[in-house]
Amino acid sequence: MSQATNQSWGGRFSEPTDAFVARFTASVNFDQRLAPQDIQGSIAHATMLARVGVLTDDERDAIINGLNEIQGEIERGEFNWSVPLEDVHMNIEARLTEKIGITGKKLHTGRSRNDQVATDIRLFMRDEIDVIEVELKRLREGMIELADREAETIMPGFTHLQTAQPVTFGHHILAWQEMLARDHERLLDCRKRGNVMPLGAAALAGTTYPIDRHVTAELLGFDRPTENSLDAVSDRDFAIEFTSFASILLMHLSRMSEELVLWTSAQFNFIDLPDRFCTGSSIMPQKKNPDVPELVRGKTGRVYGHLISLLTLMKSQPLAYNKDNQEDKEPLFDAVDTVRDCLKAFADMVPAIEPKKASMYEAARRGFSTATDLADYLVRKGVAFRDAHEIVGQSVAYGLKSEKDLSEMSLDELKQFSDTIEQDVFEVLTLEGSVAARNHIGGTAPNQVRAAAQRAREALSALKAGA
């Protein structure tokens, strides 16, 4: 059966749209997610049109009441979405006209779907950013508290994934928190730059009606109207900025995930994750798999994909609106959903991390992690650093052969390598001495970690007060 010509724009057409083309060009199956924002935008537009005298107050009220009823129908799942009506915008407008008659057809005065959809997505992004920000704050808080609790817990720090120097577990967790603090700034920056109002740009050139774009901007909580109508209908930078934020965030979460996966392995044995964040194996009864961090690590790839999709979507696009832009929604929606879920998973999981302190401590003792401390000790006694490096290298070689850590050697054993070594060396060779000695801002000493946690807490609540 042939498709009816779309009534919203069918005037100049002499044959109906091909049935496949109608399906191919329709976006309603995914953009119906923008219905709340579409209705919110239409209510503001109608309110503004009445304020400038383009609609009567009665017409405005009929439109607003109709739109509110439609919102209810959608929420209750009673709304009948129609593919021939193409997209969320025309579905809602057609239903409005069905409900309130000719007045419904006046809503689109001084507007185009081009500025309408640009507005809808900006409103959507702003709403989603606010939800995402709640989860991000919750995760940061969880990390700060975990770090504070574990300010004295000693673990090996790594470079090249080889034991390097002892650090505190709290210090390591605060390193994660720093990554998220930067992501948080990027998110708020993206929200701010995206919070501008396209309505009034109409199709591309603006509109002949005496609209007041400042009124619409204020009604919708935007900071200001967009400056240029051509740019307003074509700009999708905000979606690219969001997926950039999302990609960097997921890159960070994937790094944390990787460490969690390593740490829960029998080989590292640094932490336990509660059973509720793990699953078993259908064949190997002993298995407890860290699925949540593994999945977050895996989901990072799809978010990078969405960033590349959007960048490529916009590459070389001439001004102004092009139908290509209909392809902006699915990547953005999926990026939003993925980020929100991954943050929620992490915010739930991080406070529940159970460090296996004895095992971390043992691991820190095993890899000659205080070798640099011994070198620094020799330098303080007047040995040149290069010579100290050589002396410690020989001590490590002896330790490898005799299977002894530096702190396990006797004074006589150590003295084989340098006469300068005295009884006081054992203060620096202990793990506690090693971390406590890194006692400056940004260092791993327990008191520094507690102070850093306190500063992070204050920075986070200052952000909350400002938001």
What is the DSSP secondary-structure string of 213-246?
HHHHHHHTT-SEE-S-HHHHHH--HHHHHHHHHH
Concerning whether 252 is annotated as a catalytic residue, the answer is: no
Q: Is 17 in the site for ligand ARG (CB under 6 A)?
A: no
Residues that bind ligand ARG (rule: CB under 6 A) add up to a total of 10
Backbone angles phi and psi of 33, in degrees to 5 = -65, -20
Q: Is 325 in the site for ligand ARG (CB under 6 A)?
A: yes
Of 18 and 432, CB closest to ligand ARG: 18
Of 89 and 297, CB closest to ligand ARG: 89
User: Which residue of the set 265, 281, 402, 461 is catalytic?
Assistant: 281
Residue 272, SS3? Answer: strand
Q: Among 112-120, 132-140, 347-355, 360-368, which window interacts with ligand ARG (CB under 6 A)?
A: 112-120
CB-based contact 229:205 (threshold 8 Å): yes
- Shortest distance in whole angstroms from residue 321 CB to ligand ARG: 6
CB-based contact 170:153 (threshold 8 Å): yes
Of 6, 17, 27, 91, which lies in the binding site for ligand ARG, with binding defined by CB under 6 A? Answer: 27
Q: Is the bond preceding 320 in cis, omega lying within 30 degrees of 0? A: yes
Residue 241, judged by CB atoms within 10 A of its CB (0-12, 13-18, 19+), counts as buried
Q: Among 15-23, 110-118, 301-309, 454-462, which window interacts with ligand ARG (CB under 6 A)?
A: 110-118
Of 6, 40, 103, 114, which lies in the binding site for ligand ARG, with binding defined by CB under 6 A? Answer: 114
Q: Is 257 in the site for ligand ARG (CB under 6 A)?
A: no
Beta-carbon neighbour count of residue 98 at 10 Å? 11
Contacts of 453 (CB under 8 A, 6+ apart): 144, 145, 147, 148, 151, 170, 174
Backbone angles phi and psi of 163, in degrees to 5 = -55, 130
User: Which residue of the set 160, 282, 316, 410 is catalytic?
Assistant: 160
Q: Is 229 in the site for ligand ARG (CB under 6 A)?
A: no
Residue 115, SS3? Answer: helix
CB-based contact 301:265 (threshold 8 Å): no
Q: Is 326 in the site for ligand ARG (CB under 6 A)?
A: yes
Of 170 and 198, CB closest to ligand ARG: 198
- Shortest distance in whole angstroms from residue 117 CB to ligand ARG: 4
CB-based contact 245:183 (threshold 8 Å): yes
Of 28 and 196, CB closest to ligand ARG: 28
Q: Among 71-79, 278-286, 319-327, 397-405, which window interacts with ligand ARG (CB under 6 A)?
A: 319-327
Concerning whether 306 is annotated as a catalytic residue, the answer is: no
Q: Among 323-331, 365-373, 412-420, 421-429, which window interacts with ligand ARG (CB under 6 A)?
A: 323-331
Torsion of CA 231, 233, 236, 242, to 10 degrees: 110
Q: Among 62-70, 122-130, 259-267, 318-326, which window interacts with ligand ARG (CB under 6 A)?
A: 318-326
Q: Which amino acid is at 351?
A: P
Site string for ligand ARG, 72-91 (x = CB under 6 A): ---------------x----
Of 71 and 91, CB closest to ligand ARG: 91
Residue 63 in tokens: 């439109």
Residue 107, judged by CB atoms within 10 A of its CB (0-12, 13-18, 19+), counts as buried
Q: Which residues are catalytic?
A: 160, 281
Judged by the rule CB under 6 A, the positions of this chain that interact with ligand ARG are 27, 31, 87, 113-114, 117, 321, 323, 325-326
